[in-house]
């Protein structure tokens, strides 16, 4: 268990509303990632972070922003949710343990935008 | 950009039999890593096995093994003595070698494995 907690576990929201998903880790690892999972697409990277206040875009970053003000927390924000953002969102961390070090994933947040 | 292709959207196997899931990838890099993840209905992403590109020896983890063909850019997963608990989505993933910390994991679209009793 890599100590990753995602909240909320499920969320239903309306189009146009802002939404923030939280990822919390207990072990102070440097690298954190947000992925979305959609049928027929696998997991696609939204944003990632390589330290406090250090973030970068992934392949599907449009409509999303992130923040990392503390090592342990990585927030994903949908400024104005759209139906195309209905998805399962996974946070992941890279622990650096083992070679090659894999990603460890949280349990996911299922977001429905109506 | 690197891409990962899993050509079998669905596979099925009889309990106790062996099944192989295919994965190919496209890269111009020589230093990279490959992974297989399992996602059961619980939605949890679980690491199954990993391989470093510079190692010629195929990785093995209990009933799970890979056939890594670097020249062919192929990374198939073999599950021996299949069990009902092996039923899940399986994702193949690729990551470049160290590039100053910005390495990202690129996933295939997944293969849904059904295990029949």
- pLDDT given at position B101: 52
Residues in chain A with CB shorter than 8 Å from the CB of B33 are 100
B52 touches chain A (CB under 8 A): yes
Q: From start to end of B53-110, where are the E strands?
A: 60-61, 64-69, 74-79, 88-96, 105-107
What is the least distance, in Å, from the CA of A37 to any CA of chain B? Answer: 9
Whole-Å CA distances, A113 to A11, A71, A75: 8, 29, 18
Both tokens assigned to A69: 């003000």
User: Half-sphere exposure (CA, 13 Å, Cβ side) for A93?
Assistant: 24
Each as own residue / partner, the long-range contacts of residues B51-57 (CB below 8 Å, 24 or more positions apart, any chain) are: B51/B75, B52/A99, B52/A100, B53/B97, B54/B30
- pLDDT given at position A41: 87
Contacts of B54 (CB under 8 A, 6+ apart): B30, B31
B102 touches chain A (CB under 8 A): yes
- pLDDT given at position B39: 96
What is the least distance, in Å, from the CA of B19 to any CA of chain A? Answer: 21
A9 touches chain B (CB under 8 A): no
- pLDDT given at position B102: 57
Burial B24-43 (b: 16+ CB within 10 A, else e): bbebeeeebbbbbbbbeeeb
pLDDT tens per residue across all 114 residues of chain A: 568 999 999 999 999 999 999 999 998 898 999 999 998 889 999 999 989 999 999 999 999 999 999 999 999 999 999 999 999 999 999 887 666 778 899 999 999 999
pLDDT tens per residue across all 117 residues of chain B: 789 999 999 999 999 999 999 999 999 888 899 999 999 999 999 999 999 998 889 999 999 999 999 999 999 999 999 999 999 999 999 998 765 555 688 999 999 999 999
- The neighbour count for residue A52, using CB atoms within 10 Å, is 13
- pLDDT given at position A61: 95
Residue B39 near residue B45 (C-beta atoms within 8 A): yes
């Amino acid at each position: 268990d890599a100590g990753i907690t995602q909240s909320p576990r499920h969320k239903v929201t309306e189009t146009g509303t802002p939404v923030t998903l939280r990822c919390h880790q207990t072990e102070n690892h440097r690298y954190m990632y947000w992925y979305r999972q959609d049928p027929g697409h696998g997991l696609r990277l939204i944003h990632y972070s390589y330290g406090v206040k250090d973030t970068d875009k992934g392949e599907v970053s449009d409509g999303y922003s992130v923040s990392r003000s503390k090592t342990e927390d990585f927030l994903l924000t949908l400024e104005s949710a759209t139906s195309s953002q209905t998805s399962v969102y996974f946070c992941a961390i890279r622990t650096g343990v083992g070679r090659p070090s894999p990603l460890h994933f949280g349990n996911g947040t299922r977001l429905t935008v109506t | 950009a690197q891409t990962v292709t899993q050509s079998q959207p669905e596979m099925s196997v009889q309990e106790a039999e062996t099944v192989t899931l295919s994965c190919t990838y496209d890269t111009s890099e020589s230093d990279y890593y490959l992974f297989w993840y399992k996602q059961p209905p619980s939605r949890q992403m679980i690491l199954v096995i990993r391989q470093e590109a510079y190692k010629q020896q195929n990785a093995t983890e209990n009933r799970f093994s890979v056939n890594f063909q670097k020249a062919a850019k192929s990374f198939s997963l073999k599950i021996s003595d299949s069990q009902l608990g092996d039923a899940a989505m399986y994702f193949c993933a690729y990551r470049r070698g160290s590039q100053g910390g910005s390495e990202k994991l690129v996933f295939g679209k997944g293969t849904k494995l059904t295990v029949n009793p």
